[in-house]
């Protein structure tokens, strides 16, 4: 727990609150950043617990909404229900975009139930299905009726999605990655001298749509389940991304996304891991984050029970037990780069002041 001292510097307050998915008592714990709905404009991101899949709800300062992925299918619509709870908490009645990073069931499984409950302006996906295992095929076939009735966007790396007040750039899509640096990127990455390529992944993960989101001085990076070789293309030999404030650790923190050259390049202030007790959150990934210089906080959607996993302190873990719990992590960011994250299980809040590092 070498990083504990650094992490606890950011501790603002601990507010004990009860109930499932609490969300209304957060403002007292977050003096730096106003909550969604307050007079101060803010970008809000919900990291929703879908048990090791992805679902990330982004609400812009202009109250546009983008959902990135929709969790697993089945389980009596467990994941769509959790996502709709977050959507209602955010006060959103329409999704401007539903971005599906790729077609695995832990990312598109909840789409039919979500689409039945809320209008969707456009669906963003990578177009061509790559995997043919039965789980992926079943999820894709369930998604197809929604897809055929939706406005579809198949972006290329480097494309922008129009959202007011924020800059959203597609960093990867359909197996391609950025060919030009983003603002703040372009420096040579010395750690690339030790990079070793792995066998190419012929499946869906390597097709993931990844996004870079900028709001004023604040930057967020979500690369879906992009893995080793494709991640390296973004940061070797030059770091095309630049530095980010918050990095949603790619592929749920699995070993094949634990690329040291990426962490060295984007130098996140905060990492968020969308793992479950047994999925993602690899011991090696957690260890790499414990060692990473300059990291101010790591937040996990679940405590990992994988052998050898050194979890971060419970305050930074949204869910300590199995799938009966469903607490989210909620991030609020201001234009000047200040941001906070609240653990909905406890109300514990971490506040991160303006960065003094150039180049974000």
Nearer to Zn ion, 26 or 106 (CB): 106
Question: What is the closest distance, in whole angstroms, from the C-beta atom of residue 83 to Zn ion in the complex?
Answer: 15
Q: What separation, in Å, do the N-terminal and C-terminal C-alpha atoms of the chain show?
A: 27
Query: Interface with Zn ion by CB under 5 A: which residues?
Result: 106, 225
Question: What is the closest distance, in whole angstroms, from the C-beta atom of residue 204 to Zn ion in the complex?
Answer: 9
- Closest to 274 measured CA to CA, from 255, 293, 248: 248
Q: Are 309 and 301 in contact (CB under 8 A)?
A: no
Give the chain's length: 360
Question: What is the closest distance, in whole angstroms, from the C-beta atom of residue 44 to Zn ion in the complex?
Answer: 23
Nearer to Zn ion, 240 or 248 (CB): 248
Question: What is the closest distance, in whole angstroms, from the C-beta atom of residue 37 to Zn ion in the complex?
Answer: 31
Neighbours of 180 (CB within 10 A): 9
Question: What is the closest distance, in whole angstroms, from the C-beta atom of residue 38 to Zn ion in the complex?
Answer: 33
Distance CA 21, CA 329 (A): 10
Nearer to Zn ion, 22 or 109 (CB): 109
- Closest to 41 measured CA to CA, from 24, 64, 25, 73: 64
Report CA-CA distances (Å) from 21 to 33, 86, 89, 329, 344. 20, 9, 10, 10, 6
Q: Are 103 and 204 in contact (CB under 8 A)?
A: yes
Nearer to Zn ion, 52 or 61 (CB): 52
Chain-centroid distance of CA 195 in Å reads: 25
Question: What is the closest distance, in whole angstroms, from the C-beta atom of residue 223 to Zn ion in the complex?
Answer: 11
Q: List CB contacts of 174: < 8 A, sequence separation 6 or more.
A: 126, 127, 128, 154, 156, 207
Nearer to Zn ion, 171 or 223 (CB): 223
Nearer to Zn ion, 83 or 92 (CB): 83
């Amino acid at each position: 727990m070498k990083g504990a001292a650094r992490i606890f510097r950011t501790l603002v307050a601990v507010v004990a609150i009860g109930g499932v998915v609490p969300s209304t008592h957060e403002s007292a714990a977050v003096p730096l950043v106003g909550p969604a709905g307050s007079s101060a404009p803010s970008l809000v991101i919900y990291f929703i617990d879908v048990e090791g899949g992805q679902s990330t709800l982004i609400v812009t300062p202009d109250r546009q909404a983008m959902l990135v992925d929709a969790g697993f299918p089945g389980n009596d619509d467990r994941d769509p229900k959790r996502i709709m709870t977050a959507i209602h908490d955010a006060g959103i009645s329409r999704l401007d975009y539903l971005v599906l990073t790729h077609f695995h069931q832990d990312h598109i499984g909840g789409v039919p139930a979500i689409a039945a409950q809320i209008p969707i302006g456009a669906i963003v996906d990578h177009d061509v299905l790559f995997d043919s295992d039965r789980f992926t095929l079943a999820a894709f076939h369930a998604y197809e009726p929604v897809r055929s009735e939706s406005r579809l966007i198949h972006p290329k790396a480097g494309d922008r999605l129009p959202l007011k007040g924020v800059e959203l750039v597609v960093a990867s899509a359909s197996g391609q990655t950025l060919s030009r640096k983003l603002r703040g990127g372009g420096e040579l990455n010395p750690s690339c001298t030790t990079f070793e390529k792995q066998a190419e992944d012929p499946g869906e993960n390597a097709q993931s749509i990844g996004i870079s989101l900028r709001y004023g001085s604040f930057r967020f990076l979500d690369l879906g389940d992009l893995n080793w070789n494709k991640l390296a293309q973004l940061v070797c030999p030059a770091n095309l991304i630049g530095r980010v404030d918050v990095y949603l650790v790619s592929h749920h923190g699995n070993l094949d996304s634990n690329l040291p050259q990426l962490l060295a390049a984007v130098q996140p202030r905060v990492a968020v891991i969308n793992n479950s007790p047994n999925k993602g959150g690899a011991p090696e990934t957690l260890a790499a984050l414990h060692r990473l210089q300059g990291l101010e906080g790591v937040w996990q959607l679940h405590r990992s029970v994988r052998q050898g996993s050194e979890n971060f302190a419970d305050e930074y873990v949204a869910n300590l037990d199995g799938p009966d719990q469903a607490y989210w992590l909620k991030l609020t960011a201001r234009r000047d780069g200040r941001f906070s994250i609240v653990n909905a299980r406890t109300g514990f809040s971490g506040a991160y002041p303006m960065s003094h590092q150039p180049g974000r």
